[in-house]
Structure 1
Amino acid sequence: MSKVLFVDACARGWEVSRTYAVAEAFMNAYRAQHPRDEIEELTLAGLGLTYFTGKELEYRDALLARGGQADDYFKLARQFAAADKIVIAAPYWDLSFPALLKVYIERVSVSGITFSPEPDGRLRGLCRGEKMLLITTSGGDFTHEDLSLYGTALSYLRGICAMFGVDGFDYLWTHGLDIVGNDPEAILRGAKKQAAAFAESW
């Protein structure tokens, strides 16, 4: 049995988010394939997360200095570190993803919980995660673009996986939803089928 963390970073809400629709198809198929797995869904928009200020960083660092990793302040980091699999649903915005997801990652990036600095200056991941999956959608079509430029969300999350000790990274990217002449409903139907099929072996 695996523990799966599903992080919903869809700013528009599940009712209208096309990214969430694809992610929901994936999760429904995953649940059917893995009925014994424990799945936690985290909707970032409902958490009231804010970016760090200098004052809050002082508070956080003081907690860590006295070994306070078990404090409730770090519950998101502990939840992330305990997950065997992480699924992130986040739309493609401005070459990346909504800022709220970056804020969340900053909140779970905690020394002694998700990673540990080593004496030689390198970072050792502490998460038990086997793999992470990003599910994203975009209005444009970037399938023929240089992903080192247009896929910064992918390289960033791969780096986070390496830093935290998550072994693998996959992504499902639905392109072209807002291109004039395309049929977005047909594209979404195809994306949902692809996501459901991918869930069977993930």
Structure 2
Amino acid sequence: MTRLLYIKSSPRGAASRSTALADAYLTALQGRIDDLAVDTLDLSATRLPDYDGDKVAAKMTVITGQAHDAAQKTAWDEITEMAGRFIAADIYLIATPMWNGSIPYRLKQYIDLIHQPGLLWTLDPASGYAGLLTGKRAVLALTAGAFGPDMPSPAFGVDHQSSYLRFWLNQAGVTDIDILRFQPSLLTADPEAAFQQAVQTAVQAAGQVPHTPAGQPAARTA
């Protein structure tokens, strides 16, 4: 079985173009991977715990190799449960709009909660960070109102969206990353035609994933 974690970041529900773009990719991918198991995490409909003092203290305790106290253990157990759901996936499909040049705050909060030492990464004083996730694939379905890769920057925005998500995933060990874009979504002569072109690109990207019969994992590159 191939496990896919579908992370929706937009609070706009059916009106979200990033979600619609990711949906198109997912539908096409389901035709390629017979045993694809989809776990959907809608961040706008999910209660995320605060990344509070106990959780920060628990993280620092892990980094320094000390033992958790009772409050820290409770906080760390909550983090470990959330991170375990992420770690269990083989493919990450992340749908997110661009907010103020970056990502929605709930997606950042989720990343801050799960991106923890001993779970997604380690830190060596001599060599630096090393990701603990291996053999994973990520697909980013990205939208933006005014920004686009061919638009003048910073006049029409700056891409801290894909660059940050790449940085985060790379630090966790995920380097096989595909990016799907509907950008810009507003400053285009025919938004619907542009969106349909983005959907076709998403379907084509899913078509490049090797067909996998039931019972065999999807081919991946690290």
TM-score tier by shorter-chain length is 0.7 to 0.9
Which residue does the alignment assign to 2:16?
17
Which residue does the alignment assign to 1:35?
34
Task: Indicate which of 164, 173, 179 corresponds to 2:181.
Answer: 173
Deviation at 1:171, TM superposition (A): 0.8
Compared CA separation, residues 122 and 62, structure 1 to 2 (3 A)? closer
Unaligned runs of 5+ in 2: 210-222
Task: Indicate which of 161, 168, 174 corresponds to 1:153.
Answer: 161
- Taking the TM superposition and a 5 Å limit, the aligned residue runs for 1:82-101 are 82-101=88-107
Instruction: Point out the more displaced range, 62-71 or 77-86.
Output: 62-71
Deviation at 1:94, TM superposition (A): 1.2
For 2:207, give the aligned amino acid. Answer: E
Deviation at 1:177, TM superposition (A): 2.1
The CA distance in 1 between the partners of 2:124 and 2:153, in whole Å, is: 31
Identity of aligned residues (%): 26
Checking the alignment, whether the CA contact within 8 Å between 1:161 and 1:168 is kept in structure 2 is no
How high is the TM-score relative to the length of structure 1? Answer: 0.85
Which residue does the alignment assign to 2:46?
47
For 1:109, give the aligned amino acid. Answer: H
Instruction: Point out the more displaced range, 46-55 or 192-201.
Output: 46-55
Task: Indicate which of 188, 191, 202 corresponds to 1:195.
Answer: 202
Which residue does the alignment assign to 2:114?
108
How high is the TM-score relative to the length of structure 2? Answer: 0.78
Deviation at 1:93, TM superposition (A): 1.6
Do structure 1's residue 2 and structure 2's residue 8 form an aligned pair?
no
Which residue does the alignment assign to 1:134?
140
Of the two, which has the highest radius of gyration?
Answer: 2
1:103-138 deviation digits (Å, cap 9, x = unpaired) = 111111111111112242611211134221110112
Which residue does the alignment assign to 1:164?
172
CA RMSD in angstroms comes to 2.7
Compared CA separation, residues 147 and 102, structure 1 to 2 (3 A)? farther
Q: What SS is found at the alignment partner of 1:150? A: coil
For 1:112, give the aligned amino acid. Answer: G
Q: Would you say how many aligned residue pairs link Structure 1 and Structure 2? A: 200
Do structure 1's residue 184 and structure 2's residue 191 form an aligned pair?
yes
